[in-house]
Amino acid sequence: MSYLKQWQAAKKQFETATGKKKPSESVLGVFRKSSGLESACKTLDAALAKPTLDSTEKAMVVFMKAREDYVKQLEKADKADKTDDYRKEIGKLSEALDSILMDYSVKKQEALNNAPRPLTDILGRHAKDLCSTDFLKKPGVKWFATAKEVQLSGVDGKPLPEAIACQKRFLASLKQYDTAVKTAKATCAKAFVVKAGIKEAVKQIGLITDAVSPMTEGARYHYMMWVEAQGKAFRDAGRAGDMRTFIEQGPLSAKIAAVGSLLEDEAGRLNNLEADIRDLHR
């Protein structure tokens, strides 16, 4: 039975039991018509017919507001009519509203779990994080991927082939990252049931993470190899002891450290995002 019919049946029972059909303000002074509740019940029914996170939440808010207003009127009506029978039936009417709300809460979650919905709707606020390209826009990341000074040896300031190769691979990893994010964004428009949607979202995070992780030779790997290439150049020049000074105190030290922090932060963000998304179905 629809929520509208449930409410209409409860109201009919009230009218029959009290012998007062659609009590008006002229009779009770404070009793209010239930058109707002009927509209709210229709909203609940419509939300379950085509459930989305937004529509089901909004429908509940609308119903709770209409219920609150109506219960206040019932309480006023209870004070206006002191008969026990009337008070008893008001209690039943209020219980009917509570029953609708509790039933909707359960069916809302069932509908959201079982009805195919866009992945953006399943993920809610996490969809924006999944499709974010903020990492690529960080000045430090762009600097390491394109700056000519990154291509030079810390020993003598001359082009270092190994450093140049690492920079090119780092840039390729950023392109891989960008492609993975675009794929995730396209996937977010597709419909899934919740369990399958969470699984797909985790898969998309994995593809983005691969472009960063050192375990999959992502951007962090090539950054680390660049540091190693610089270290090898110092060792080959017989100046191994100067490598630490170059990394920690040299003219590029602050920028180098910033890139390392950005890569570490992004890896942490993606790990946290995956955990948050997995929690949506627990």
Mean pLDDT over residues 84-105, rounded? 83
Lowest mean pLDDT among 73-77, 116-120, 158-162: 73-77
Rounded Cα distance, 72 and 236, in Å: 84
Rounded Cα distance, 220 and 170, in Å: 8
The predicted structure's pLDDT at residue 77: 65
- Rounded mean pLDDT of the chain? 89
Q: Are 122 and 199 in contact (CB under 8 A)?
A: no
Mean pLDDT over residues 18-35, rounded? 51
211 or 24, which is more confident? 211
pLDDT of 91 above 60:
yes
pLDDT of 128 above 50:
yes
Mean pLDDT over residues 47-61, rounded? 90
Rounded Cα distance, 272 and 97, in Å: 40
Place of tokens 């995730």: 184
- The continuous run of DSSP H or E covering 41 comes out as helix 35-49
pLDDT class for 24, splitting at 50, 70, 90?
Answer: very low
248's tokens: 């920690």
pLDDT of 26 above 50:
no
106 or 113, which is more confident? 106
Rounded Cα distance, 105 and 9, in Å: 20
Question: What is each CA distance from 4 to 7, 37, 197, in whole angstroms?
Answer: 5, 9, 32
The predicted structure's pLDDT at residue 52: 86
Q: Are 92 and 10 in contact (CB under 8 A)?
A: yes
Q: Are 97 and 8 in contact (CB under 8 A)?
A: no
